[in-house]
Structure 1
Amino acid sequence: MQAAIWAYPWDLLDEGVETVADRLGEMGVTEVNLATNYHSVQTFLPHNPERRTFFAHASSYFQPGDGYDGITPVPNETMGEDDWLERIVEEIADTHLTLNSWTVGCHNSRLGMKRPDLTLESPHGDSLVFGLCPSNPAVQSYLTNLVEDLDARAPFERIELETFDYFYGTGFGWHHDKYHTRLGTLGEFLFGLCFCDHCRSNAADAGIDVERARETCRTTVDGLAEGNLDPERSVEEWLDGHPTVADYVDVRTDTLADMFRTLGDAVTDAELGYYVGFVGADRSWMHGADLEALADSVDFYTVMAYESSREAAVEQYQTALKLSGDVPVHAGVLPGHPSVYDSQTTREIVDGLAEAGAPRLSFYNYGLLPEHNLTWIENALETYPN
């Protein structure tokens, strides 16, 4: 079983790539999933020798090439004219580590604020600036250019895609969300269901009564906000009773499958992976992702098994495996707050996923975990030599 770890470029450079490589070698980790294009973030860094926190707008950690048409990643301000990816590629080459690109796509509030015409649009007509809409041809072109650029510029073993979809199945994704209405999963999903020009056009072409779908979503969100509807009602049950909206939702899976075929063709030198399970592997459809429909375009999925017990982590993995269309499924593990608080549980989760057949585990996240949590990973991996 292979072992990887997610990491931010500032942690590798602040601590020293060789130093990090030595520590990961002790832990039994052989791969780094490096954040190359990432959403806005504040990180708390318990063992970073230079800082305890790092703030960043949605940024790239490389200097973009010339192949972009219209939308271009914005290099991180702290990086300045430097190219952190280039530096890390050079320094990691002399270590035992394999480098992968951890690439965030549509979750980009910087680009969304600058170009609201590219974003998801709520049923009420609001620009949801935290998420670019993958139905928009300009966004599709941006995402394709991004993975082509990354594939060409560095010897990545894998390019791993996060939020190359309709976000997390919710209309909330800003950094300081404020709402004191009980919308429930149903209301949050419907509020985040995109009705931009491109989504509406795609649905209309499929013969769907778009305005009826939109009005149904609006009145349901408003009814939930006013306390007139049950916020605990399941999304699936509600959609069964509202087939026009259900059909509208289904159109997104076709759009995403088409886009992933283009992404798959764009990557020639690396394996292409896609992260699933942020709201549960069985609800990937809420992101617009039909895992079986994407199967011909990706080389693997990584399911976020960020659970607090062996049983729950294995259940997430097995669910993803059933939906994957025979694509290999890797697993992500969070051996720290708010999921896991001891070494024994970390070991049980790792053992459970290994016994379930996971060929590769990725641990979240090198710079965010305290040193003793890194030791938990080391202890859990000691029976799985690479």
Structure 2
Amino acid sequence: MDFALWVYPWDLLDEGVHSVAEYCAENGIGELNLATNYHAVQSFLPHNPKRKTFFTQASSYFHPNKEDYGRLSPVPNEQMNGDDWLLQISNEIADTHLTLNSWTIGCHNSRLGMANPDLTLESPFGDSLLFGLCPSQPAVQKYLCSLVSDLSSRSSFKRIELETFDYFYGTGFGWHHDKYHLELGRLGEFLFGLCFCDKCCDNARKAGVDVDTARKSAQEGVTAIINGNLPSDTQPASWLRAHSSLEAYIEVRMKTLADLYNDIRSVLDSSIRLGRYVDFFDIEETWMQGVDLDILAEHLDYYTVIAYESNRQAAVERVQTTNRLTPDIPLHAGVLPGYPVIDSAEMVQDIVDGLANTGVEHISFYNYGLLPKQNLNLIGEATKSYR
């Protein structure tokens, strides 16, 4: 069993790369999943020696080769003050036992969205959802491919792991100071975030979809929930079966995303493994992000199943469900050994053991800088028998 830690660059540099490496060596950790291109965040840092919080807009922690990107390009974080944190960290990690992976955010980028609203997700009502770039847009596809190519050329990454390289969620995961005083539910949030930008509509029309009917169905679904005529807990899949044009519209997005992943794979250095996170939704509902797990697996080396659960059974079930839907690709897992899901060494140990019994051979723990020291100690106890 191999173990990794998700980590932010500011925590590595504030504490010292070699200090973090010492912790990792003592606790069975051999890899770091480093945030290299990340969404806006304010993180609380319980053991950071220099600060207790870090706020940043969506940023890269390296300086991109801008001539390769086209219209969209990562924006280097201003707090680097001209430095290149990825380069600095890579150089310092080279003489430790650790290997480095790139934890890479794709379409969840409010900074680029605000600067380019015509390239964002467009709600059925015509709203620009600034937190999410639309992967149907050619300029966004160019950006995502260039981002992966750039990262694979500039550091000795073992893996590049993709997050939100898809049609992002309708409320943006609280990306801003959100205000909602009604319950949209899973269906309402999905329908509101379903993109009807010009390129999504063009792709669907070319596939023979009645786009006008599809958009009207999405609008009517959201409106019915707002007016109290449709329960907010209505299951998305069952509701969609009565709206065939919208079902067909959604299927086109899956083909678009599969083509994009093929392009991403083609620009990746062959020595680097490519993974994708199976995110925080129900595994059977990845289609809501435009994802067909089995089709995308053709372009990936593994999935990391996010198993942020408070008990062994729930974590194991997420892995088993993913394996059922896409049986021919290796599965890794992600575990959160802290608030709000885990509060004891026994819970961490039980979940790690359960995941190991499913055949998972690689577990990543979230997140070095966010966990208090007592929770970091739980990791060492859980990994001891696998070293």
CA distance in 2, matches of 1:33, 1:82: 20
Aligned equivalent of 1:182: 183
Query: Which stretch shows the higher mean deviation, 291-300 or 101-110?
Result: 291-300
Q: SS in structure 2 opposite 1:167? A: coil
CA distance in 2, matches of 1:169, 1:328: 29
The amino acid that maps onto 1:367 is G
CA distance in 2, matches of 1:358, 1:280: 19
Give yes or no for contact 2:278–2:303 (8 Å, CA) kept in 1: yes
Query: Which stretch shows the higher mean deviation, 81-90 or 176-185?
Result: 176-185
Aligned equivalent of 1:278: 280
Aligned equivalent of 1:73: 74
Q: SS in structure 1 opposite 2:80? A: coil
Query: Which stretch shows the higher mean deviation, 147-156 or 219-228?
Result: 219-228
CA distance in 2, matches of 1:200, 1:171: 21
CA distance in 2, matches of 1:95, 1:148: 26
- Which consecutive residues of structure 1, in runs of 5 or more, have no partner in the other structure? none
CA distance in 2, matches of 1:301, 1:227: 39
Deviation of 1:175 after TM superposition, in Å, equals 2.0
Aligned equivalent of 2:10: 10
Aligned equivalent of 2:302: 300
Q: SS in structure 2 opposite 1:55? A: strand
1:382 paired to 2:384: yes
TM-superposition CA deviations, 1:191-217 (whole Å, max 9, x none):
000000010011111111101110111
Aligned equivalent of 2:345: 343
TM-score, normalising length from structure 1? Answer: 0.98
Give yes or no for contact 1:171–1:188 (8 Å, CA) kept in 2: no
CA distance in 2, matches of 1:170, 1:109: 12
Aligned equivalent of 2:38: 38
Aligned equivalent of 1:197: 198
- Which consecutive residues of structure 2, in runs of 5 or more, have no partner in the other structure? none
CA distance in 1, matches of 2:170, 2:283: 12
Deviation of 1:153 after TM superposition, in Å, equals 0.3
Deviation of 1:243 after TM superposition, in Å, equals 1.1
Deviation of 1:173 after TM superposition, in Å, equals 4.7
Q: SS in structure 1 opposite 2:95? A: coil
Query: Which stretch shows the higher mean deviation, 222-231 or 351-360?
Result: 222-231
Q: SS in structure 1 opposite 2:218? A: helix
Give yes or no for contact 2:38–2:59 (8 Å, CA) kept in 1: yes
Query: Which stretch shows the higher mean deviation, 270-279 or 89-98?
Result: 270-279
1:108 paired to 2:84: no
Deviation of 1:81 after TM superposition, in Å, equals 0.5
* Change in 2 beyond 3 A, CA 1:260/1:126: same
Deviation of 1:174 after TM superposition, in Å, equals 2.7
Aligned equivalent of 1:28: 28
TM-superposition CA deviations, 1:7-62 (whole Å, max 9, x none):
00000000000000000111100000000000000000001000000000000000
CA distance in 2, matches of 1:62, 1:29: 24
Matches within 5 A, 1:363-378: 363-378=365-380
Aligned equivalent of 2:267: 266
CA distance in 1, matches of 2:152, 2:337: 30
Deviation of 1:361 after TM superposition, in Å, equals 0.2
Deviation of 1:277 after TM superposition, in Å, equals 2.9
Give yes or no for contact 2:40–2:175 (8 Å, CA) kept in 1: no
CA distance in 1, matches of 2:386, 2:362: 11
Aligned equivalent of 2:244: 243
Q: Aligned residue pairs: how many?
A: 385
CA distance in 2, matches of 1:166, 1:200: 14
CA distance in 1, matches of 2:83, 2:172: 35
CA distance in 2, matches of 1:145, 1:2: 30
TM-score, normalising length from structure 2? Answer: 0.98
CA distance in 2, matches of 1:325, 1:316: 13
CA distance in 2, matches of 1:382, 1:292: 34
Deviation of 1:170 after TM superposition, in Å, equals 4.9
* Change in 2 beyond 3 A, CA 1:2/1:150: same
Matches within 5 A, 1:213-232: 213-232=214-233
Q: SS in structure 1 opposite 2:299? A: coil
2:358 to 339, 342, 356: 356
Give yes or no for contact 2:132–2:172 (8 Å, CA) kept in 1: no
The amino acid that maps onto 2:234 is R
CA distance in 2, matches of 1:61, 1:308: 32
CA distance in 1, matches of 2:171, 2:241: 19
Give yes or no for contact 1:61–1:84 (8 Å, CA) kept in 2: yes
Give yes or no for contact 1:171–1:190 (8 Å, CA) kept in 2: no
Query: Which stretch shows the higher mean deviation, 226-235 or 366-375?
Result: 226-235
Query: Which stretch shows the higher mean deviation, 339-348 or 106-115?
Result: 339-348
CA distance in 2, matches of 1:292, 1:351: 26
Deviation of 1:324 after TM superposition, in Å, equals 2.2
Give yes or no for contact 1:209–1:244 (8 Å, CA) kept in 2: yes
The amino acid that maps onto 2:166 is D
Q: SS in structure 2 opposite 1:139? A: helix
TM-superposition CA deviations, 1:141-160 (whole Å, max 9, x none):
00000000000000000000
CA distance in 2, matches of 1:329, 1:130: 29
